[in-house]
Chain A
Amino acid sequence: MSKEVSRRTFLKILGGGLAGMAAGGAVWKRHEIMAFLDADKAAADAGQDMGRVATRYYAPLGKDLSLLGFGCMRLPTKFSAQGRVIDTELGEKMIDFAYRHGINYFDTAWFYHDGQSEGFIGQALKKYLRDSVFLADKMPTPILESLNQAKEIFQTQLDRCQVTYFDNYMLHSLTSRDEFERLYIQNGILEYLRQEKSRGRIRCLGFSFHGDVPFFQYLMDLYPWDFCMIQLNYADWNDLGEAPSGSRQAGDLYRKCREKNVPIFVMEPVKGGNLADLPASSAAILKELHPDASLASWALRWVGSKDGVITMNSGMSNLEQVLDNVRTMSGFSPLSPAEERAIQRSMGKNADSMAIPCTYCRYCDPCPYGVDIATVFQLYNRFGEPAGIDMAHPDRADDAKKRQFLTRYQNNLERTQRASQCTACKTCLPRCPQHIPISKNIRAIDDMVQQFSRDTGKVVI
């Protein structure tokens, strides 16, 4: 009970924060951010359960990792005598905020903030138990020359982070097979890292990837990686059989990972913010189905709905994004089929965007219980999903939409033809040339209609 209330409070705080920011302009001022983070901490200290980001089981460690990771690439900075440095005070408060809300995966690298990032995160995480947080670091591939240099770098990284081991360690940014073979195979750096893994200073060994599909397949076949980090988002996805082009290869990478059963860590789930800023026509499609959700949340939920994804690291360059991401992931629910199709439509793919792939051929007729299957499907395909109604989330539609759909439904079907007559006898299933799970869909539409009827008071039986 109290959990329920405080959870709502938490979401209200986040919501209020976002609304405040939207009203106040682009970004909060530093003291405002500080005040917000302090208020959040005070609420947590007062014993309110703040709700936590969803987690995923990570088999190589046997632990649950937060679905949302904290990337330490774009921390708040300030000017000082040494030039631009990390704003430690604010940065630590943000880390604490993330930890309070269940984020336990922190991702840093040699290059981030010119090497300051590792030192900062090491300092910031010191107050937490080492096995309650998961730290990822990376071998800086572009500057590597020799094995000894690699050993030196690795030791420096441990020292900077003030830890004795890394939970995840990656070969940073692999882009070409030549480079990989020269550095990691011929110079023996991969062999060295494997030794470090057996010594326990690396718990899981993987790589972050920026190359092409053949190189990826070669890598995956080469060595039993504990995990890998790829760029995965709905805009970069290519379907099976669709040739990869440019960055649009995530589908191939993903399928290879699933084939090898390698856990996936995701970078650029919002494609560098591009998917949070869609053209108006695309955004309208998504907004219609779920008016309250941010565009970024669609991208994050799309990634989170993919099996095998453990954690996604989103660049959190300002508090607004952090709040939105935490909010999305705290109440995480996978995308419904209708939402998936809405994303397809928002990208201009109309071919396979029909809610129920029914061709109205009526081979399913006659239904032994009189249901006019094709008409029910047609009504949903024409006036349901395109009007912003989601079978999986009927409660999201507003009253006007519900009433309109009910009227269509009532006007086009006799009582005896409606979905409520379905007994799930499955007579229709073998007759369907499109292999539609008819009774499942019919019953889902019936449930939706019943709920609309309850919600609006418009009687359709």
Chain B
Amino acid sequence: MIQKGRIFLSWLTMAAVLLSFGGVVTPFLTRWQFLPALLASNVLAIAVILLVTFFCGRLYCSVLCPLGISQDAIYWLAKRRKKNRRKFTFHKEQRWVRYGILAAVALSLLMGISLVPVLVDPYSIFGRIVTDILAVPASYVWNGLAGLSLGWLPIISKVDILPLAGPAVVMAGVYFLVLSILSWRYGRWYCNTLCPVGTLLGTVSRFSLFRPIIDRSRCVRCGQCEKICRSSCIDVAHGIVDSSRCVDCFDCISICPKGALSMSRRGRKQSAVERTEEKEAPEMPETEGISRRDMLITTAVAAGTLAAGLARSQPLIPGLLGTGKGKKAVLPPGALSLTDFSQHCTACHLCVSRCPSKVLTPAVLENGIMQMGQPHMDFTRGYCVYNCNFCSQACPAGAIRPLQMDVKQQTKIGIARYAQFHCLIAREGIICGNCARHCPVQAITMVENRDGRSYPKVDGSRCIGCGSCEYHCPAHPAAISVSPMRS
């Protein structure tokens, strides 16, 4: 029952997140993803997630994390495909890896380096896989539907399919392959070893009020629960469940033939059990297999990560490595500065996915090494459309601050500069004027020169740097291009 509920909720989440990425619905669940919410100082979301985790364990991992749900889906496929289905066995947690990664994330947050969280944050990995890989076949299917409907009613608009952003595709592809294999074979191994969010929530769920507890009076040690535990966290021999790793999939509860497993209040039933069956479990490790000292350290790391995340807008240790201090780049309207942007962005590519003109595209080295994978603006692909603020409305991490349309339309993100040398007018005598015609704020006028031809002239006070001129410029390289603002 409870397992069915978990599956139902996870489907809903998956649908909502995918539709958000597909641009069909306004993104809302993406704001509840842990790391982005932390970076956006979305205190409400963080508090609710932590409270829920404290109450009943890592429900977040099974019903809210899209990457977790995807892994569950792959694991489910694996279960169906293999006749001789894989049996999990209890493993001890790889504590050093878990907390090492969490500590590295915390440290890099403190230093304002975004690359580390970008590499391991589950939601962002999922976003990149959707945007850079799954979106491609999805677009073709969608356009096929649009083609079918063409004869009757033009309801479905095709999406413009642009050349793939190669490095981003490769990166997302590697993640996709590795995670698929891992979850196919080892279930939620990633979530309990690499994922910093899983680790952080694990330190809370270690103390959660409700958790799967084995009633040893009923348990016959058949081991079925241990064999299907995707987190490998059930130790039947000792009759314990490591709740810091349990992702609340509830499979064990529904599979137990004796009804010995249930979500129960911590301490109560177990202590009663312990009292009666103390002899049978003489090597019972202290509180679920972790020493008090370790517990203090892990809790400190987790608390430090939270603090570092919330303090992100003011990195405590000044950036050492290419955080782009003083460096300028053309950023989507709503981003404050390159430093602030790259410190917040987790490269989930939700903005890339939703950008209707596709001017936002994953960067390789355009903005710097530390900004790799984060979006940048490529005006050869498109331009920032005047009456669109999708990216600023979508960004869950606060890298692009939400802007109302009228504010967005007055936000300068750069300034167009004209190089007559490349211009078609100068080179071929074609009075093109495409830049002036397409300027949404009439910042470009065609002014007659001494040679009797009209050349574009940019009014810097009006220009908002949307790049419409650069996109529409037929010259290669473009004779008019957007540069970052100087100030």
Contact = CB atoms under 8 A, between A and B. Distances in A.
A459 B157 CA distance: 10
Interface in A416-461: 420-426, 443, 446-447, 450, 453-454, 457-459, 461
B433 A424 contact: yes
B437 A443 contact: yes
Given A425-B430, A461-B385, A369 B471 contact: no
A420 to B, nearest CB: 6
Interface in A326-353: none
Contacts of B428: 425
A30 interface: no
Given A420-B438, A443-B437, A461-B357, A411 B154 contact: yes
Nearest to A443: B437
Interface stretch (A8-16, A40-48, A270-278, A402-410): A402-410
A450 B438 contact: yes
B438 A410 contact: no
B432 A454 contact: no
A414 interface: yes
B387 A457 contact: yes
B160 A415 contact: yes
Given A421-B474, A423-B434, A404 B357 contact: no
A373 to B, nearest CB: 15
B24 to A, nearest CB: 14
B357 A459 contact: yes
B73 interface: no
Interface in B108-147: 146-147
B430 A424 contact: yes
Contacts of A458: 157
B472 interface: yes
Contacts of A421: 472, 474
A411 B158 contact: yes
A454 B357 CA distance: 14
B386 interface: yes
A415 B358 CA distance: 11
A461 B471 contact: yes
A458 B424 CA distance: 30
B22 interface: no
B60 interface: no
Contact of A408 (B154, B386, B434, B437): B154
B1 interface: no
Secondary structure at the A interface, as helix, strand, loop or mixed, is helix
Given A407-B155, A408-B154, A454 B387 contact: yes
A447 B472 CA distance: 13
Contacts of A412: 150
A459 B155 contact: no
B78 interface: no
A388 to B, nearest CB: 15
B430 A423 contact: yes
B77 interface: no
Contacts of A424: 430-433
B424 A423 contact: yes
Given A407-B154, A407-B155, A454-B387, A414 B474 contact: no
A459 B356 contact: yes
Nearest to A369: B474
A404 B154 contact: yes
Contact of A414 (B160, B437, B438): B160
Interface residues on A, range: 20 to 34
Contact of B150 (A411, A422, A426, A454): A411
B434 A420 contact: yes
B388 interface: yes
Contacts of B424: 423, 425
A443 B472 CA distance: 13
Contacts of B160: 410, 414-415
B382 interface: yes
B32 interface: no
A345 B147 CA distance: 31
From B155, B156, B157, B438, residue with most partner A Cβ within 10 Å: B157
A369 B437 CA distance: 16
Interface string B341-357: 00000000000000011
Contacts of B383: 461
Most buried by B among A415, A454, A458: A415
Contacts of A425: 424, 428, 430, 432
A420 B357 contact: no
A369 B357 CA distance: 20
Interface in A127-167: none
Max chain B C-beta neighbours (<10 A), residue from A422, A446, A459: A459
A454 B388 CA distance: 10
A276 to B, nearest CB: 35
Contacts of A422: 434
Contacts of A404: 154
Contacts of B431: 424
Contacts of B438: 420, 450
Contacts of B385: 453, 459, 461
Contact of A454 (B155, B386, B474): B386
B437 A407 contact: no
Contacts of A407: 154-157
Interface in B454-487: 471-472, 474
Nearest to B432: A423
A369 B387 CA distance: 27
A453 B474 CA distance: 21
Interface in B365-418: 382-383, 385-388
Nearest to B381: A415
Contacts of B155: 407
Nearest to B475: A423
A443 B437 CA distance: 9
A406 to B, nearest CB: 8
A129 B474 CA distance: 61
Interface string B90-108: 0000000000000000000
Contacts of A414: 160
A453 B157 CA distance: 13
A410 B474 contact: no
A424 B474 CA distance: 11
B354 to A, nearest CB: 11
A422 B474 CA distance: 8
B472 A420 contact: yes
A410 B430 contact: no
Contacts of B471: 461
A124 B146 CA distance: 67
Interface in A383-416: 404, 406-408, 410-412, 414-415
B453 to A, nearest CB: 13
A422 B472 CA distance: 9
Contacts of B162: 415
A458 B159 CA distance: 12
Interface string A192-232: 00000000000000000000000000000000000000000
Contacts of B437: 443, 446-447
A116 B112 CA distance: 95
4 nearest CB pairs, A to B: A459-B356, A423-B432, A407-B154, A425-B430
Given A407-B155, A423-B424, 10 more contacts: A407-B154, A411-B150, A420-B472, A421-B472, A423-B474, A424-B432, A446-B437, A454-B387, A459-B357, A461-B471
Interface of B: 146-147, 150, 154-158, 160, 162, 356-357, 382-383, 385-388, 424, 428, 430-434, 437-438, 440, 471-472, 474
12 contacts: A404-B154, A406-B157, A410-B157, A411-B146, A411-B150, A411-B157, A415-B160, A454-B386, A459-B356, A461-B356, A461-B382, A461-B383
